[in-house]
């Protein structure tokens, strides 16, 4: 969890994440058309695959950014940029490109990715208040002090009731 120790936990199941990702695609269906999609790895890969399927987008690229480990967020590093052929869509700067990520938290990663494709449409499944201004479309807002546990980060385990100190 981040250094500031969030007070709230939000576990997301595979079913819920799939429904939320499809809801994002539904919302995006009126924002296109998009000629290409860029998934922000790693968290954006699953919702990007769902959006690409639902919106009929066949040209898919990734941008690889590293900032989180399972405990904290650090300095943003671009490990792999976007192909120039994607940047050039729509006359340059990513016009006509959809960027998809799982979450915008502080907005730091989104800011760095947006600089690569300033005219692209940026969408996330979940958004926190600090990062919301960096994205064009999202589905669910959670408070800044909430840590989202994505399905690929968790396993099935007993959860005590809230009244007994559970999350």
User: Is residue 15 annotated as part of the catalytic site, yes or no?
Assistant: no
Q: Is residue 97's pLDDT more than 70?
A: yes
pLDDT of the residue at 92: 85
- Report the topology of domain 8-150: Rossmann fold (3.40.50)
User: Is residue 145 annotated as part of the catalytic site, yes or no?
Assistant: no
Question: Which residue of the set 88, 101, 153, 164 is catalytic?
Answer: 101
DSSP letters of 56-74?
A: T---EEEEEEEEE-SS-EE
Q: Is residue 3's pLDDT more than 70?
A: no
Q: Locate the DSSP E strands across 6-165.
A: 8-11, 36-41, 60-68, 73-80, 97-104, 121-127, 137-141, 146-149
The model's pTM: 0.86
List, for residues 98-155, the tens digit of each pLDDT value: 999 999 999 999 999 999 999 999 999 999 999 999 999 999 999 999 999 999 888 7
Tokens of 156: 């099935």
Q: Name the average pLDDT for the chain.
A: 90
User: Is residue 105 annotated as part of the catalytic site, yes or no?
Assistant: yes
Q: Where are the domains of the chain?
A: 8-150
């Amino acid at each position: 969890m981040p250094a500031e120790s969030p007070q709230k936990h939000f576990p997301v199941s595979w079913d819920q994440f799939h429904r939320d990702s499809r809801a994002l695609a539904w919302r995006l269906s009126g924002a296109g058309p998009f000629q290409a999609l860029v998934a922000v790895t790693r968290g954006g890969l699953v919702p990007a695959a769902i959006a690409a399927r639902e919106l009929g987008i066949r040209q898919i690229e990734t941008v690889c950014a590293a900032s989180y480990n399972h405990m904290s967020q650090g300095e943003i590093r671009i490990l792999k940029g976007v192909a120039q052929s994607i940047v050039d869509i729509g006359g340059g700067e990513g016009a006509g490109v959809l960027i998809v990520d799982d979450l915008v938290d502080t907005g730091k990663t989104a800011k760095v990715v947006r600089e690569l494709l300033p005219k692209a449409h940026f969408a996330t499944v979940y958004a926190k208040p600090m990062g919301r201004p960096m994205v064009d479309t999202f589905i669910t807002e959670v408070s800044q002090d909430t840590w989202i546990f994505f399905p690929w980060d968790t396993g099935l385990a007993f959860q005590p009731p809230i009244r007994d100190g559970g999350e």
